[in-house]
Amino acid sequence: MLSAVAMAVRVSFGLLLGFFLGVFGLYFGWFISPPGPTLPSALLVTFAGVGASIGGFVSYFKPDVHRTVHWTNFAAALTGGLVGAWAGWSLGYVIYPEGVYNPAAPIRTPPFIISVVGASAGANMLSWCLYTYRLVRFREI
């Protein structure tokens, strides 16, 4: 019972923090991008993936384990965040082929939100798999 509660808290906190930090990473990439008429989408999607992976890493962080477990968790979260961000970016144009309607602008904006959701889900999915493995194998909560 205690492991199910710990798992539910970590998953919900991870998704929420991953989404928040993914949006923060997207806007951070937006602010440091070079000026011009077009935004470099590769930079924005990568920063969204890195932000979401930091959220996935923090939500499954355990201070009492060995340092190699931390590095493995960070690598899993970073891989899942970047793969999820790029998969969400590719899938966003399938869901919204002409772009997302933006009432404040006369043009339709690209679907960055699908990229952030994919990054958050990917980072948390791989971190959750690692956490579940360590929970079952070593009885860690």
- For 15-67, the pLDDT digits (tens) are 999 999 999 999 998 898 888 777 788 899 999 999 999 999 999 998 888 99
Tell me which DSSP letter residue 34 carries.
Answer: P
60-112 tens-digit pLDDT: 998 888 999 999 999 999 999 999 999 999 888 888 777 777 777 677 777 78
Domain locations along the chain: 2-138
The residues, ordered by sequence, that sit 6+ positions from 66 with a Cβ below 8 Å of its Cβ are none
Closest CA relative to residue 17, chosen from 50, 46, 52: 52
Q: In which band, very low, low, confident or very high, does the pLDDT at 129 lie, cut at 50, 70 and 90?
A: very high
Whether pTM > 0.95 for this model: the answer is: no
The residues, ordered by sequence, that sit 6+ positions from 6 with a Cβ below 8 Å of its Cβ are 141
Residue 126: alpha-carbon gap to chain centroid: 11
Give the CA dihedral 21, 26, 27, 31, nearest 10 degrees.
Answer: 130
